[in-house]
C-alpha cells in the first residue's frame, strides 16, 4: 500500500536527490549569492540558503516516505544500481527499506530544524558560509550512510561526516573545543581504519561488496573464522561511533564543547550510524561471528547503561559542578547501551526494540540538547549548581514554558509509558529475556535484570535534574553557600555583560532570591517553538502509536534475520 502512487523512476530520483542535494548545496553556499537573493546582508543570505536546501531535502524525504510501499517494507525500494569502479566491482547502489527509511526521515528533519534554529541563533565563530556548508556536507554524508547498499560506499559515507563535525566543534564550539575536536577525530578515525580492514576482508572472501547480495547469502560464503575476524574489526569501528562503553570517552567532551546544533546532530544522527551498521551489515552478513560476540556485546552494553546512569547521578548531585550538556551526553551512553543490548539478542523483538530506541533517542535527546543550549544562552552557563543554586524559582517561575518543555523531555528520556522512550527499552528487555537460539538464556536474563535496574537509575538522575533546574533551590540551606554562588554567577558571560539583564546575579549574603521578586527570563521564542515542536509532537506520536514505526521495521528485520527470506 502506498499513500500516493509514485513511479519507480521518480522514487529513484527522489532518493538520489536526498543524498546529493545537500552536497551541491554546500558548494553553492561557498559561492557569492545571486544579486536578487542577498537579503539584508550576505550572512543572512547564506543562512537562508541553508534553510532552503535542508527544507527541500526534508520535503523530498517526506514524498519518498509517502510513495514508499508500506505493504512491502522488507523489499528494497527506490533502488539505483550503477557500476562505478568495475575493477573492484564497486557500484553506486542506493535503496531504502523499512529499516533505513525512518533514519533517513529523522536525519532530514533534524538537519532542517538545526538550519532553522541557526538562522535566528547562529553560534559564535568564523564565516557563516563555512558553517552552512559544513552542516550540509554532514547531512549528505549521513543520508548517504543510510541509503547506500555497497560496503565501500558505506565506508566512504561513514567517514564523510567526520571532517565537518570536527570543524563544527573546533571552530564554533565552546571551552576546550580544540581538545574535544581532536579526541573526537582520533577515536573515530582509528576505529574506522580497523573497520575498513574488516570490510575488505568480507569483500575479498565473498567476491562482492554488494550489501543486498551479502545479506541474502547470510554468511554461507564465509567461514566462521572469517566472520569472527570481520565482526571484531567492523564492530570495533561501529562501536566507537555508537559509542559503546569503554570506547565512549570522546563523546562527553565533544558534546560539552560543541555548539547547540552540533550536539543535536551528533546525538540525534551520527550515533545512529554505528548501530545501523550493526543491523545492516553484521547481523545478516556474518551471523556466526555475531553469535560468537553477542554475549560480550550485551555485557558491554549493560555496563554502559549502568555506567552512564551513575555518571549522570554523580554530575547531578549538589556541589559536583556538573555541566548539564555533559550530563545529557553521558545519558546517551546509557540509552545507546539499550540499542546495543537489543542488537545482541539477535531476535526480531530485540532488534526492533533497538531500531525503535534509535529513533526515540534521536527525537528526545535532540530536543534535550536544543533546550540545554537555550538555557545556556539565557543564563550564560550550563553548570547545574549555578542553575539550581542562584536562580530562586528557576525555570518554572522564570520561563514557565521552557521549564515545562524541559520536564517533558526529561520524562520522555526516562521512558515514561505513552512516550517514545518507553517502547524501545521495553522491547529490548523482552528480547533479552528470550535471546536467539545458541545464546545463553541465563546470561541474557542477567543482562535484562541489569538493564532494568538501569532504567531506575535513569529515572533517578532525570528527576533530580528536573527538580534542581526547573524548581531551583528555594531555601538558604543548600549545600552551596551564598559565597559559593556569587562567583559562579559573576563568572558567567550573561551576568557580566550579556543581553539578558535577568541572568544570575550575585546575591551577596542573601542567597537565592524570593520567588516573588525573581526576574523573568525570556521564555520560548517563536523560532525556538518552530524548531522544537515537531520533536515533542513526534515523541508523543511514537509513544501513543508505535505501530507506525514497528510496522515498517518488523518485516524488514524478520527478513534480515532469516537470511534474506521473507
Gap between the Cα atoms of 250 and 37, Å rounded: 40
pLDDT tens by residue, 325-377: 889 999 989 999 999 999 999 999 999 999 999 999 999 999 999 999 888 88
**Cβ atoms 366, 373 nearer than 8 A:** no
Gap between the Cα atoms of 98 and 390, Å rounded: 48
Q: Which of 133, 146, 75, 134 is nearest to 107 (CA)?
A: 146
pLDDT tens by residue, 371-407: 998 888 887 777 887 777 655 446 777 778 888 899 9
Question: Cell triple for residue 145?
Answer: 550512510
Q: What is the pLDDT of residue 3?
A: 65
List Cβ neighbours of 432 (8 Å cut-off, separation of 6 or more).
Answer: 298, 341, 342, 345, 350, 444, 445, 447, 448, 451
Q: What is the pLDDT of residue 229?
A: 93
List Cβ neighbours of 562 (8 Å cut-off, separation of 6 or more).
Answer: none
Q: b/e string for 166-191 if b means 16 or more Cβ within 10 A?
A: bbbbbbbbbeebeebbebbbebbeeb
**Cβ atoms 344, 297 nearer than 8 A:** yes
Instruction: Considering only CA atoms, give the Rg of the chain.
Output: 23
Gap between the Cα atoms of 152 and 16, Å rounded: 18
Q: Cα 394 to chain center, whole Å? A: 28
Element (H, E) at 96: strand 90-96
Gap between the Cα atoms of 451 and 339, Å rounded: 11
Gap between the Cα atoms of 381 and 394, Å rounded: 14
Q: What is the pLDDT of residue 432?
A: 92
Q: What is the pLDDT of residue 243?
A: 86
Q: Which of 267, 358, 366, 291 is nearest to 552 (CA)?
A: 358
Helix axes 348-379, 400-413, angle to 10 degrees: 150
Q: How many CB atoms lie within 10 A of CB 416?
A: 16
Q: Which of 222, 166, 162, 170 is nearest to 189 (CA)?
A: 162
Q: Dihedral through CA 466, CA 471, CA 472, CA 477, nearest 10?
A: -110
**E strands, 219-280, in order:** none
Q: How many CB atoms lie within 10 A of CB 349?
A: 21
Which portions of the chain are predicted below pLDDT 70? 1-3, 33-41, 389-394, 472-520, 563-566
Gap between the Cα atoms of 33 and 418, Å rounded: 47
Q: What is the pLDDT of residue 1?
A: 61
Q: What is the pLDDT of residue 33?
A: 66
Q: What is the pLDDT of residue 299?
A: 93
Q: What is the pLDDT of residue 515?
A: 39
Q: What is the pLDDT of residue 451?
A: 92
Say whether pTM exceeds 0.95. Answer: no
Q: Per DSSP, what are the bridge partners of residue 80?
A: 94
Amino acid at each position: 500500500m502506498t499513500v500516493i502512487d509514485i513511479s519507480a523512476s521518480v522514487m529513484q530520483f527522489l532518493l538520489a536527490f536526498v543524498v546529493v542535494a545537500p552536497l551541491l548545496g554546500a558548494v553553492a553556499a561557498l559561492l557569492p549569492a545571486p544579486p536578487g537573493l542577498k537579503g539584508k546582508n550576505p550572512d543572512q543570505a547564506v543562512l537562508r540558503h541553508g534553510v532552503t536546501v535542508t527544507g527541500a531535502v526534508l520535503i523530498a524525504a517526506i514524498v519518498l516516505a509517502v510513495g514508499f510501499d508500506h505493504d512491502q517494507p522488507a523489499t528494497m525500494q527506490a533502488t539505483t544500481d550503477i557500476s562505478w569502479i568495475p575493477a573492484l566491482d564497486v557500484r553506486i547502489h542506493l535503496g531504502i527499506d523499512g529499516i533505513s527509511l525512518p533514519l533517513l526521515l529523522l536525519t532530514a528533519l533534524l538537519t532542517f530544524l538545526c538550519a532553522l534554529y541557526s538562522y535566528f541563533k547562529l553560534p559564535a565563530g568564523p564565516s557563516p558560509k563555512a558553517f552552512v556548508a559544513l552542516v550540509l556536507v554532514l547531512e549528505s554524508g549521513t543520508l548517504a550512510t543510510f541509503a547506500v547498499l555497497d560496503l565501500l560506499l558505506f565506508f566512504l559515507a561513514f567517514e564523510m561526516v567526520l571532517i565537518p563535525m570536527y570543524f563544527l566543534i573546533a571552530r564554533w564550539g565552546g571551552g576546550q573545543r580544540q581538545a574535544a575536536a581532536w579526541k573526537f577525530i582520533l577515536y573515530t578515525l582509528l576505529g574506522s581504519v580497523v573497520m575498513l580492514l574488516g570490510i575488505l576482508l568480507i569483500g575479498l572472501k565473498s567476491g562482492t561488496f554488494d550489501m543486498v547480495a551479502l545479506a541474502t547469502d547470510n554468511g554461507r560464503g564465509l567461514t566462521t573464522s572469517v566472520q569472527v575476524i570481520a565482526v571484531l574489526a567492523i564492530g570495533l569501528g561501529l562501536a566507537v561511533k555508537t559509542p559503546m562503553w569503554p570506547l565512549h570517552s570522546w563523546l562527553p567532551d565533544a558534546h560539552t564543547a560543541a555548539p547547540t546544533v552540533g550536539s543535536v546532530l551528533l546525538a540525534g544522527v551520527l550515533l545512529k550510524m554505528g548501530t545501523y551498521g550493526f543491523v545492516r551489515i553484521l547481523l545478516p552478513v556474518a551471523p556466526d561471528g555475531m553469535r560468537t560476540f553477542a554475549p560480550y556485546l550485551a555485557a558491554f552494553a549493560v555496563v554502559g547503561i549502568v555506567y552512564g546512569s551513575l555518571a549522570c547521578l554523580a554530575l547531578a548531585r549538589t556541589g559536583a559542578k556538573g555541566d548539564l550538556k555533559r550530563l545529557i551526553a553521558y545519558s546517551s551512553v546509557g540509552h545507546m547501551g539499550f540499542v546495543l543490548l537489543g542488537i545482541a539478542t539477535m531476535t526480531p523483538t530485540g532488534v526492533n526494540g533497538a531500531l525503535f530506541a534509535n529513533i526515540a533517542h534521536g527525537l528526545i535527546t535532540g530536543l534535550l540538547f536544543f533546550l540545554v543550549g537555550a538555557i545556556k544562552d539565557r543564563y550564560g552557563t550550563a553548570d547545574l549548581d549555578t542553575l539550581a543554586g542562584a536562580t530562586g524559582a528557576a525555570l518554572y517561575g522564570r520561563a514557565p514554558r521552557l521549564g515545562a518543555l524541559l520536564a517533558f523531555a526529561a520524562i520522555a528520556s526516562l521512558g515514561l509509558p505513552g512516550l517514545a522512550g518507553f517502547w524501545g527499552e521495553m522491547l529490548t528487555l523482552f528480547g533479552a529475556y528470550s535471546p536467539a537460539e545458541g545464546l545463553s538464556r541465563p546470561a541474557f536474563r542477567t543482562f535484562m535484570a541489569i538493564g532494568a535496574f538501569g532504567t531506575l537509575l535513569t529515572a533517578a538522575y532525570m528527576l533530580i535534574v528536573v527538580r534542581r533546574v526547573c524548581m531551583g533551590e528555594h531555601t538558604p540551606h543548600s549545600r552551596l553557600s551564598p559565597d559559593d554562588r556569587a562567583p559562579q554567577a559573576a563568572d558567567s558571560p550573561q551576568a557580566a555583560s550579556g543581553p539578558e539583564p535577568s541572568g544570575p546575579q550575585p546575591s551577596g549574603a542573601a542567597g537565592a532570591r524570593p520567588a516573588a521578586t525573581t526576574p523573568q527570563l525570556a521564555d520560548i521564542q517563536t523560532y525556538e517553538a518552530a524548531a522544537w515542536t515537531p520533536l515533542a509532537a513526534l515523541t508523543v506520536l511514537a509513544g501513543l502509536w508505535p505501530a507506525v514505526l514497528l510496522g515498517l521495521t518488523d518485516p524488514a528485520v524478520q527478513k534480515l534475520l532469516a537470511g534474506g527470506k521473507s
